[in-house]
Amino acid sequence: MPLHVIVLAAGQGKRMHSSLPKVLHPLAGRPLLAHVLDTARRLGAQGIVVVHGHGGETVQANFPGEDLRWVEQPRQLGTGHAVAQALPSVPGDAQVLVLNGDVPLVPSEMLGRLLKAGRDGLAIATCDLGDASGYGRVVRDASGKVRRIVEHKDASAQELAISEWYAGFLAAPARSLARWIKGLTSDNAQKEYYLTDVIGLAVADGVEVQAVKAQDRWDVAGVNSKRELAALERELQRRAAERLLEAGVTLADPARIDVRGSLECGRDVSIDLNCVFEGTVRIGDGVRIGPNCVLRDVTVAEGTEILGFCFLQEAEVGARCRIGPFARLRPGANLAQDVHIGNFVEVKASRIGAGSKANHLSYIGDSQVGARVNVGAGTITCNYDGASKQRTVIEDDCFIGSDATLVAPVTIARGSYIGAGSTISKDTPPDQLTVARARQVSLPGWKPPRKKG
């Protein structure tokens, strides 16, 4: 039986107090909906239907090129109505799994059990951990069998005392679900078509409803406010920190690290406070990362030290490098082994060869820097002429004096020495000192201007 997933993502999210659709609010750097879609794909779904409403065009624009079917729920008439909009896009011989776009941490293992339990009938996810306020209560009979779900606003005082609540997911054959959906009414406190009412309709059909209980409250926690979003963020980061610790990574404080993507670490890696890892980051053996660093889509080879307050983006760092503090590697920065990039140095779209150093207050952009080059403080490559980027080439064993300006396109030949304060706009000969400064003049008897009056 092929699996098709319906994701309910039409909610406006009024309690978020934001113009951004709720399912696009970021969790660990990615939209809530992206986490749910990843889970659906891990389950092997052959089709995914996303029901959108508020901000639908914006939601779709955030997932370009993905194999999704989008269905609009133009009027917010309840979760049952939302599923009714999606079912025509699902084959009749499929098994349907209904997920919520604002419940991002549900594990694939739990959903696998739900699918197995609902293959021939109906299965729902429930939880009896935490506060049940606001959730539909699971009503069972004396023998413990599920009979129905009553929504919070429709529940009696006795029903509100029930601790088991519906966690928002269900699995059933498509044809059966379509039949039950047709039997829904809006005769309730909210005048909506509740998806949860299909449980009572299934029981009336003689179908035994299976309940799969969540083992962790966070696995089925949804987002309805910024407070709940922040709580989920901390839980997700706690889990990420636990995985790193189990893998042998040293964290100065597990509560002060954010992983917003994929982080792979080798042996004997240490990470100081308040570091953020975004996109895909790979860290080699023995790497040390100081406090308050941001690494985004970066590869760092073994033995490198990144001092505090550095920002690295789309860069490759070789072995045994030393970076920072307060250094920035921009996209296209590629450092060979044993390179030093010091405080307030920026590197962009440049390759820097083995053993080279730029230790202070420099900008290296669109450049090819050879091995064993020393770049003095205040040096800049003038790589942009206002219309296009030009390349600077610094060959091996060059010494660039402080406050040098290299006007691209230009080649600094092997073994060149550039005098401090020089502006170099022509290629230099190898193994020579090149100085390009304005003539220094002193005027005897010169007096500064004075204000009149």
- Catalytic residue ranges: 360
Q: Enter the tokens of residue 36.
A: 């749910």
51: helix, coil or strand?
Answer: strand
Distances, alpha carbon 242 to alpha carbons 10, 36, 245, 250, in Å: 34, 22, 5, 11
**β strands within 270-372, DSSP E:** 270-271, 275-283, 288-289, 294-296, 299-300, 305-306, 311-313, 316-317, 322-323, 328-329, 334-335, 340-343, 346-348, 351-352, 357-360, 363-365, 367-369
Residue keyed to tokens 């989008």: 70
- Phi/psi-derived region of residue 332, left when phi > 0, alpha when psi is between -120 and 50, beta in every other case: left
Q: Enter the tokens of residue 229.
A: 């979003």
* Cα(209)–Cα(88) distance, integer angstroms: 24
Specify the DSSP class assigned to residue 217: G
- The H-assigned helical ranges of 314-373 are none
* Cα(244)–Cα(279) distance, integer angstroms: 16
Q: Are 10 and 51 in contact (CB under 8 A)?
A: yes
- The H-assigned helical ranges of 100-251 are 108-117, 157-160, 174-182, 197-204, 226-246
Q: Enter the tokens of residue 214.
A: 């969540």
* Cα(214)–Cα(242) distance, integer angstroms: 20
